[in-house]
Amino acid sequence: MVNIINGKDVSNNLRNNLKDKISQLKSINNIHPSLAVIIVGDDPASKIYVNNKKKACEEIGIKSHEFVLPSDISEYKLLQLIEELNCRDDVNGILVQLPLPSHLNEKAIIEHINPIKDVDAFHEINVGKIMTGNFEFLPCTPAGIMQLLDDYNIDIAGKHCVIIGRSNIVGKPMAMLMLHRDATVTICHSKTQNLSEICKTADILIAAVGQANFVTADMVKNGAVVIDVGINRNEAGKLCGDVDFERVKDIASYITPVPGGVGPMTIAILMKNTVTAAILQSKNN
Ligand code: GUN
Ligand 1 within 6 A of CB of 97: yes
Clarify whether 53 is annotated catalytic. yes
- What residue's CA is closest to ligand 1, atom 11? 98
Inter-CA distances, 222 with 54, 201, 217, 227, 245, Å? 40, 10, 10, 14, 14
267: phi then psi, degrees, rounded to nearest 5: -70, -40
85: phi then psi, degrees, rounded to nearest 5: -70, -35
Which pLDDT score, from 0 to 100, does residue 77 have? 98
- What residue's CA is closest to ligand 1, atom 2? 98
**Is residue 149 a contact partner of residue 6, using CB atoms and an 8 Å limit?**
no
Nearest 5°: the CA angle 226, 230, 232 is: 135
Within 8 A by CB and 6+ apart from 166, the residues are: 172, 187, 189
Which pLDDT score, from 0 to 100, does residue 284 have? 77
Ligand 1 within 6 A of CB of 98: yes
Ligand 1 within 6 A of CB of 120: yes
The atom of ligand 1 lying closest to the CA of 98 is 10
Ligand 1 within 6 A of CB of 169: yes
pLDDT tens, the chain, 285 aa long = 999 999 999 999 999 999 999 999 999 999 999 999 999 999 988 999 999 999 999 999 999 999 999 999 999 999 999 999 999 999 999 999 999 999 999 999 999 999 999 999 999 999 999 999 999 999 999 999 999 999 999 999 999 999 999 999 999 999 999 999 999 999 999 999 999 999 999 999 999 999 999 999 999 999 999 999 999 998 899 999 999 999 999 999 999 999 999 999 999 999 999 999 999 999 877
26: phi then psi, degrees, rounded to nearest 5: -70, -50
* Buried b or exposed e, range 168-190, using 16+ CB within 10 angstroms: ebbbbbbbbbbeebebebbbbee
Pairwise CA distance, residues 22 & 42, whole Å: 32
- What residue's CA is closest to ligand 1, atom 4? 98
Q: What is the widest separation between alpha-carbon atoms in the chain?
A: 57
Catalytic-labelled residue, pool 42, 54, 55, 120 = 120
Closest CA to 118 of 93, 100, 139: 93
Pairwise CA distance, residues 117 & 90, whole Å: 11
Whole-model pTM: value is 0.96
Catalytic-labelled residue, pool 20, 55, 63, 97 = 97
